[in-house]
Amino acid sequence: QLQLVETGGGLVQPGGSLRLSCAASGFTLDYYAIGWFRQAPGKEREGVSCISSSGGSTDYADSVKGRFTISRDNAKNTVYLQMDSLKPEDTAVYYCAARMYYSRSYCSQPNRWDDWGQGTQVTVSS
Protein backbone atom coordinates (compact mmCIF):
# COMPACT_ATOMS: atom_id res chain seq x y z
CA GLN A 1 0.00 0.00 0.00
CA LEU A 2 1.25 3.42 -0.92
CA GLN A 3 1.83 5.89 1.90
CA LEU A 4 0.74 9.47 1.45
CA VAL A 5 1.10 12.23 4.04
CA GLU A 6 -0.77 15.53 3.88
CA THR A 7 0.54 18.62 5.63
CA GLY A 8 -0.15 22.33 5.58
CA GLY A 9 -3.61 22.54 7.06
CA GLY A 10 -4.57 24.99 9.76
CA LEU A 11 -6.79 27.87 10.78
CA VAL A 12 -7.03 30.82 8.39
CA GLN A 13 -9.29 33.83 8.10
CA PRO A 14 -11.69 34.21 5.18
CA GLY A 15 -9.83 35.52 2.17
CA GLY A 16 -6.59 33.97 3.33
CA SER A 17 -4.38 31.32 1.76
CA LEU A 18 -2.94 27.94 2.59
CA ARG A 19 -0.77 25.51 0.67
CA LEU A 20 -1.31 21.84 1.27
CA SER A 21 1.35 19.25 0.47
CA CYS A 22 0.93 15.58 -0.28
CA ALA A 23 4.19 13.69 0.09
CA ALA A 24 4.77 10.10 -0.91
CA SER A 25 6.71 7.73 1.28
CA GLY A 26 8.41 4.58 0.09
CA PHE A 27 7.49 4.95 -3.57
CA THR A 28 7.78 7.43 -6.39
CA LEU A 29 4.80 9.53 -7.36
CA ASP A 30 5.98 9.82 -10.96
CA TYR A 31 3.57 7.21 -12.28
CA TYR A 32 0.53 8.18 -10.28
CA ALA A 33 -2.30 10.59 -10.75
CA ILE A 34 -3.10 12.44 -7.53
CA GLY A 35 -6.41 13.77 -6.35
CA TRP A 36 -7.34 16.12 -3.55
CA PHE A 37 -10.63 15.51 -1.78
CA ARG A 38 -12.32 17.05 1.22
CA GLN A 39 -14.92 16.05 3.74
CA ALA A 40 -16.82 18.43 5.96
CA PRO A 41 -18.68 17.24 9.06
CA GLY A 42 -21.91 15.50 8.12
CA LYS A 43 -21.14 15.60 4.42
CA GLU A 44 -19.86 13.14 1.87
CA ARG A 45 -16.29 13.24 0.68
CA GLU A 46 -16.03 15.33 -2.47
CA GLY A 47 -13.44 15.84 -5.18
CA VAL A 48 -11.56 19.13 -5.14
CA SER A 49 -8.87 18.78 -7.77
CA CYS A 50 -6.72 16.20 -9.50
CA ILE A 51 -3.60 16.07 -11.62
CA SER A 52 -2.14 13.55 -14.03
CA SER A 53 1.21 11.86 -13.44
CA SER A 54 3.01 14.24 -15.78
CA GLY A 55 1.17 17.30 -14.50
CA GLY A 56 -0.10 18.01 -17.98
CA SER A 57 -3.76 17.52 -17.12
CA THR A 58 -5.64 19.00 -14.20
CA ASP A 59 -9.23 19.39 -13.15
CA TYR A 60 -11.09 21.35 -10.49
CA ALA A 61 -14.46 21.28 -8.83
CA ASP A 62 -16.59 24.25 -9.85
CA SER A 63 -16.61 25.46 -6.25
CA VAL A 64 -12.83 26.01 -6.23
CA LYS A 65 -12.06 27.01 -9.83
CA GLY A 66 -10.08 30.21 -9.97
CA ARG A 67 -9.14 29.96 -6.29
CA PHE A 68 -7.24 26.67 -5.96
CA THR A 69 -4.25 25.51 -7.97
CA ILE A 70 -2.90 21.97 -8.05
CA SER A 71 0.71 21.29 -9.01
CA ARG A 72 3.34 18.64 -8.58
CA ASP A 73 7.08 18.41 -8.21
CA ASN A 74 8.02 14.85 -9.04
CA ALA A 75 11.64 15.52 -8.10
CA LYS A 76 10.40 16.22 -4.57
CA ASN A 77 7.84 13.43 -4.72
CA THR A 78 5.19 15.91 -3.68
CA VAL A 79 1.91 17.30 -4.94
CA TYR A 80 0.61 20.68 -3.80
CA LEU A 81 -2.74 22.36 -3.49
CA GLN A 82 -2.50 26.13 -3.32
CA MET A 83 -5.70 27.51 -1.83
CA ASP A 84 -6.38 31.22 -2.15
CA SER A 85 -9.40 33.40 -1.34
CA LEU A 86 -10.53 30.82 1.18
CA LYS A 87 -14.15 30.80 2.30
CA PRO A 88 -15.78 29.35 5.42
CA GLU A 89 -17.39 26.70 3.22
CA ASP A 90 -13.91 25.41 2.38
CA THR A 91 -13.62 24.17 5.96
CA ALA A 92 -13.06 20.40 5.88
CA VAL A 93 -10.54 17.65 6.29
CA TYR A 94 -8.49 17.52 3.09
CA TYR A 95 -7.16 14.23 1.77
CA CYS A 96 -4.89 13.31 -1.08
CA ALA A 97 -5.22 10.04 -2.94
CA ALA A 98 -3.36 8.19 -5.68
CA ARG A 99 -4.26 6.00 -8.60
CA MET A 100 -2.31 4.68 -11.57
CA TYR A 101 -4.33 6.14 -14.44
CA TYR A 102 -5.69 9.62 -14.75
CA SER A 103 -9.17 10.29 -15.95
CA ARG A 104 -10.97 13.58 -15.56
CA SER A 105 -14.17 11.74 -14.76
CA TYR A 106 -12.53 10.15 -11.72
CA CYS A 107 -11.69 13.48 -10.11
CA SER A 108 -15.15 13.68 -8.56
CA GLN A 109 -15.37 10.02 -7.60
CA PRO A 110 -13.55 9.14 -4.35
CA ASN A 111 -14.31 5.44 -4.80
CA ARG A 112 -12.10 5.41 -7.92
CA TRP A 113 -8.95 6.13 -5.91
CA ASP A 114 -6.85 3.42 -4.37
CA ASP A 115 -4.56 4.84 -1.72
CA TRP A 116 -5.25 7.65 0.73
CA GLY A 117 -3.46 9.83 3.21
CA GLN A 118 -4.69 10.47 6.74
CA GLY A 119 -5.98 13.97 6.01
CA THR A 120 -5.24 17.47 7.24
CA GLN A 121 -7.77 19.85 8.79
CA VAL A 122 -8.46 23.18 7.12
CA THR A 123 -10.59 25.65 9.05
CA VAL A 124 -11.61 28.98 7.56
CA SER A 125 -13.04 31.24 10.22
CA SER A 126 -12.76 34.75 11.56
Q: Report the alpha-carbon distance of residue 121 to residue 22 in Å, rounded.
A: 13
Rg (CA), the chain: 13
Strands 92-99 and 120-124: antiparallel
Q: Say what the pLDDT of residue 69 is.
A: 98
**Per-residue confidence in pLDDT tens, the chain, 126 aa:** 789 999 999 999 999 999 999 999 888 889 999 999 999 999 999 999 999 999 999 999 999 999 999 999 999 999 999 999 999 999 999 999 999 999 999 999 999 998 999 999 999 999
Q: Say what the pLDDT of residue 27 is.
A: 85
Q: Say what the pLDDT of residue 23 is.
A: 96
Strands 58-60 and 68-73: unpaired
SS3 (DSSP) at 42: coil
CB count in 10 Å sphere of residue 25: 10
